[in-house]
Amino acid sequence: MNKLKLTPQQINKLLERFTQQELAEIFEVSARTIRNQKKENNKPKKKRGREAEISGKLLFNLFYFLIGQGGRKSYTQQKMADYLSKKAEQLNHLQKVSRFKKLFPCLPQTEIIALDECGFHLNETPRYGYAYKSFRANYRKPSYLGNNHTLILCIQNIANKGVIHYELIEGGMKTKNFHNFLTNLKLPTNEKHYLIMDNLKVHHAKQSCIKLGLTTIKELLASKNIEPVYLPPYDPEMNSVEYCFNLIRQQVEKNKPRTYEKLKSIIDKIIELDNLPSLPIPSPPAPLNNKPRKKKPKTVNNPRPIKYQKGRKPPISMACHFPTMAGFGKRSTTSQTFHNLKT
């Protein structure tokens, strides 16, 4: 069969008169070879062996690493492998971020909710302060941070009702705390919502929920008609809850609560202010006298005269701003000025 090199068209013509088995006996090959040669294969042939893993942008990065940075030749294979692995992680991360940015505008904006957690200590103090110039800001604060408390916050893009639900728990957040928070979460409508959160292990809890005899987080969200949307790794700024935490932490550090009750009352007040309707801006008070104010005459500030070095006289033709007897502040030359002073 290899010596004859029949094309698929020739084999198809021969099959009109002979069967595949008869052709196999004539050319002393198997029927499977006849069947494979009969098929047309227009695809380009691939190279033998394993495909190269370094290609595209990674190959360009390796070329820049070896040649672009001064043409050094002291790089080891381990150093090149570490550099490529770091670049591969960056490219993968950028792809995930771009994929999330394309997905987010396609979601209904009123049905998007965001969730995150933040830790607070009872001995919180302001991180910044005022001091005189060239002096350090001195402030007394407790020697230890105090007990840790976790705030779980869920918000939605709705006017006058941004914060849907929140809970302040003692210690760190565990699977049971997060499960109870989602159980107590009440949505404003029965429509499908999209929950944005990070890739914390508790947010994917499955085995720990089964051990506690609870439904998994995925099943609990499905029962409430919520679809989870996880953020790309190492991108907390893409979650809008972080901006709320920034305001809450600023006020907590300013008020310096030392007990759980005070901390909870401060957080309650801040969230109540966030959920209040926007107040109208008051108009400025009217002046007591309705008479229009008189405009003050503009004063002319004369610039300082040009200073010259000792032992050198200024040129006579050079224009200066010296005061004259005829009119204060008028532009004149030095010769006219001296003439006016003599007269």
Q: Give pLDDT tens digits along the chain (343 positions).
A: 445 567 888 888 888 888 888 888 888 888 888 888 777 665 666 666 666 666 667 777 766 666 655 555 566 767 777 777 777 777 778 888 888 888 888 888 888 999 999 999 998 888 888 888 888 888 888 888 889 999 999 998 776 678 889 999 999 999 999 999 999 999 888 889 999 999 999 999 999 999 999 999 999 999 999 999 999 888 888 888 998 898 899 899 889 899 999 999 999 998 888 775 554 445 555 554 555 556 666 555 555 555 545 555 555 444 444 333 333 344 444 444 434 444 4
Instruction: Give the number of C-alpha atoms closer than 13 A to the C-alpha of residue 68, restricted to the C-beta side.
Output: 7
Q: Does residue 312 lie in a domain region?
A: no
Q: What are phi and psi of 61, to 5 degrees?
A: -65, -40
One domain, residues 92 and 196: no
Q: Does residue 221 lie in a domain region?
A: yes
Query: In sequence order, what are the residues at sequence separation of 6 or more whose Cβ sits closer than 8 angstroms to the Cβ of residue 129?
Result: 137, 139
- What local confidence, expressed as pLDDT, does residue 145 receive? 84
d(CA 69, CA 301): 58
- Mapping DSSP onto H, E and C, the string for 212-271 reads CCCCCHHHHHHHCCEEEEECCCCCHHHCCHHHHHHHHHHHHHHHCCCCHHHHHHHHHHHH
Q: Does residue 211 lie in a domain region?
A: yes
Name the token pair of 172: 């760190």
Helices and strands counted in the chain (H then E): 11, 7
Number of domains in the chain: 3
One domain, residues 72 and 188: no
One domain, residues 163 and 268: yes
Q: Does residue 175 lie in a domain region?
A: yes
One domain, residues 118 and 243: yes
One domain, residues 13 and 88: no
The range of the structural domain enclosing residue 16 comes to 8-38
How far from the centroid of its chain's Cα atoms is residue 206's Cα?
28
Name the token pair of 69: 């940075």
One domain, residues 191 and 259: yes
268-271: long-range contacts, CB 8 A cutoff, minimum separation 24:
271/163, 271/166
